[in-house]
Structure 1
Amino acid sequence: MSGGGADSRSVAEKLFAIADAFAGRESLGLTEIASRARLPLSTAHRLVREWVAWGGLVRGDDGRYRVGMRLWRLGVRQPTALRLRRIAMPYLEDLLEATGEHVHLAVRDGLGAIYLERLSGPGAVPVISDVGSRLPLHATGVGLVLLAHAPIEVFDEVLASGPRKYLPNTLTEERDLRRRLAEIRSFGISTSVEELTSGAFSVAAPVRDATGEVVAAVSIIAHVERVAEPQFALGVRMAARGISSALGYRPQGE
C-alpha cells in the first residue's frame, strides 16, 4: 500500500475504497484500482473478485473493470433518482410516441453520463446506450449538456483524461469543446451528429431542479437522415421544461 505502515481499515472500508476508486472513471485496471484505493495489489485482487462475484463490478474482455448493474441498481433506488425517473416518465413517453426513436434520461457521474432511463421505438437506430450505461461526457448529447453546466474543474478533468475520438466528428480539442459548451449554454440545447454512433444524431436539453441547478439531461437519438426534422429539438425542449417545472424550477421573471 502506498504511504507504508499497517492498514487499519476494516474489510468493509477497503471494499468501499474500491467502489470510490471508480469516481470519475469509466473503467480501471487492477493496478489502478489498487493505487486509487491505497491497497496492496494482492488485497485489491482478492476484494475485486468479491465485488465481481456479487455483481458490483464486471470485468471486460480488455481485462479492465467497470461498475456492474447490481451496484448501479442500488444507486437508482435512492429517493432522488427514483423521483426523477417517475416525474420524467410521462414526458419521455410523449417523446417516444412523437418520434419513434430512442429517448434518454441521464445524470452526471464524475466524467460520465449514467442513463437512468431509455425508451425505444421498434425501428430506432442501433445505439450502445442502455439503462445503467455510463458513457463519456464529451461524446454524447446528454453528456455535453451535463458538461456544459458542470463546474469548470470537471471540464479540466475531461481534458486531462485524454478524451477519446470515437468518430471523426467527436470533439476532443479544448478549443472545439469550449466553443460547443458555450453554444449549449447559449441556445439551451445540444445537437450532436455521428459523434459516438455512426448513422445517428442526438438532440439533448438540460433538466433543472427547484434551485435552478442542472441535475439531468433528456435526449432523443435518431437516424441521421432525420436530422433536419424540427420536432426533435422542439420535443426535447418541451420535455426538459416540463420535467424541470415538475421538479419545482421556475425561470426568472415568471
Structure 2
Amino acid sequence: MADETHGGPDRRSVTAKVLALLDAFTPRAPELTLTQMARRSGLSLSTAYRRAAELVEWGALERDAEGRYRIGLRLWEVASLAPRGLGLREAAMPFLEDLYEVTRENVQLAVREGHELVFVERIAGRHAIPVLTRVGGRFDLHSTGVGLVLLAHAPVDVQDGVLRGPLRSHTPMTVTDPARLRALLAEVRRQGYAVSAGQVTTDALSVAAPVTGARGEVVAAVSLVVRMGEARPAALAPVVQAAARGISRALGSGPAVR
C-alpha cells in the first residue's frame, strides 16, 4: 500500500525517506518521539516506524526505555571517516592546541560546504567567552571570522550566490549590505586575515586566517574568538596566521593556485 503524507502519495525513494528521518534531528531537537520524527520528516507514522526500526538495528539511531530516538554512535563512526574532516583535524590538532595554550581562548577550525561553513574542530577555553559553535555544526559564511575567510577565497559563483542573499542579521553589527560585504571580502584577501567584531554576538570578536592545501587552495580557516575589548585584532592576527601556516605545512601546502 502506498505511503501517503499531506493527503497524497509519498513518491520519495526509501533512501530519501531514511534521510528525511535523520534530518529531523537538530541541535535543538536531539531526541524525538516516533510521532515527532514522522511529523518533522513528512512521513506517515507506519513508514516512520519501519524505517526507524531499520536504523536502530543498524545503529544509526538509538531508542531509549521511554521510546525516544536519538542519533546512534554507528552514524558518528561513519561520519568521522569523511576525508575532509579526518585528515584535516589530524593535521590541525597540534597547532590548534598550541594556539589554545598560548591564548587560553576559543579556537575553531571550519571548512566550507556550499553556501555554509561546517565546524570540524573546536577547543573551548574554560574561562573564555561562550560561543555558539559545535563540531559538525553549520553556520553562515558572511558573519563569522572563519566564514569570511572561506567566502573571500571561494569561487566567484559561490560569492555571488551568497551575496544575492538573503543575508541573515544576527546583531545590529552583522554586515548584510552586499556592497559592503564585497569590499570586506577584498580586504580579507588583501590583509590575509578576517575580523568579525560583534557580528554573531555583540560581545564576541573573531580573528581568522586561511589554511591552504597541497595546491595552495584555501581548504579551511582557523580562528580565535575572544571577548570584545580584551584584545586588538592586529595583535591576535599574527598568532592565528602562524597556526594557519603550520596546519598548511602539515597538509603539504604548495604554491598558490592561479
Normalised to the residue count of structure 1, the TM-score between the two structures is 0.75
For residue 50 of structure 1, report the CA deviation from its aligned partner: 4.2
Write the mapping of 1:14-163 to structure 2, written as runs, cut at 5 A.
Answer: 14-16=17-19, 41-42=42-43, 50=52, 74-163=78-167
Question: Identity over aligned residues, as a percent?
Answer: 43
Residue 199 of structure 1 corresponds to 203
Between the aligned partners of 1:44 and 1:187, the Cα distance in structure 2 is 55
Alpha-carbon distance between aligned partners in 1 of 2:45 and 2:241, rounded to the nearest angstrom = 45
Partner of residue 249 from structure 2, selected from 220, 238, 245: 245
The DSSP-based 3-state class of the residue aligned with 1:242 is: helix
1:212 to 212, 216, 236: 216
**How far apart, in 1, do the equivalents of 2:245 and 2:125 lie?**
23
Q: State the Cα distance separating 1:12 from its structure 2 match.
A: 2.2
CA distance in 2, matches of 1:173, 1:12: 40
Question: Aligned-pair distance for 1:78?
Answer: 2.1
Alignment equivalent of 1:12, drawn from 15, 20, 30? 15
Task: Tell whether the 8 Å contact from 2:205 to 2:226 is kept in structure 1 after alignment.
Answer: yes
* One-letter amino acid matched to 2:166: G
Q: Deviations over 1:122-152 (max 9, x none)?
A: 2101111122221111111101111111122
The structural deviation recorded for 1:183 is 0.8
What amino acid does structure 2 have at the position aligned with 1:128?
A: L
Structure 2, unmatched stretches of 5+, are 29-36, 62-70
Amino acid at match of 2:184: R
**RMSD (CA atoms):** 3.9
For the Cα contact (< 8 Å) 1:102–1:118, is it kept in 2?
yes
Q: In 2, distance between residues paired with 1:176 and 1:45?
A: 51
Deviation, 1:155, is 2.1
5+ residue gaps, structure 1, are: 21-25, 35-40, 57-67
Relative to structure 1, the CA distance from residue 7 to residue 117 in structure 2 (aligned partners, 3 Å threshold; closer, same or farther) is same
Instruction: Tell me how far 1:180 sits from its aligned partner.
Output: 0.7
CA distance in 2, matches of 1:244, 1:225: 30
Residue 221 of structure 2 aligns to a residue whose secondary structure is strand
Letter in 2 for 1:131: V
Once residues 153 and 133 of structure 1 are traced to their aligned partners in structure 2, the CA distance between those partners, rounded to angstroms, is: 24
Match of 2:177 in 1: 173
Report the Cα distance in structure 2 between the residues aligned to 1:69 and 1:233, rounded to whole angstroms.
Answer: 39
Structure 1 letter corresponding to 2:186: A
Please tell me whether the aligned partners of residues 149 and 185 of structure 1 are also in contact (alpha carbons under 8 angstroms): yes
**Whole-angstrom CA distance in 1 between matches of 2:80 and 2:220:** 13
Q: Which amino acid aligns with 1:155?
A: Q
Q: Higher mean Cα deviation, 47-56 or 71-80?
A: 47-56
Distance 1:43 1:110 in 2: 31
C-alpha contact 2:111 2:120 (8 A) present in aligned 1: yes
Q: What are the Cα deviations for residues 211-250 of structure 1, in whole angstroms up to 9, with x where unaligned?
A: 1111110000001112316542111101111111111113
Tell me the alpha carbon deviations over residues 166-185 of structure 1, each in whole angstroms, 9 at most, x when there is no partner.
Answer: 11110111101100111111
Give the match's secondary structure for 2:142.
Answer: helix
Q: Is the 8 A contact 2:164 2:178 kept in 1?
A: no
Q: CA deviation at 1:17?
A: 7.7
Structure 1 equivalent of residue 228 of structure 2: 224
- 1:188 maps to 192
Aligned residue pair count: 232
Distance 1:55 1:105 in 2: 26
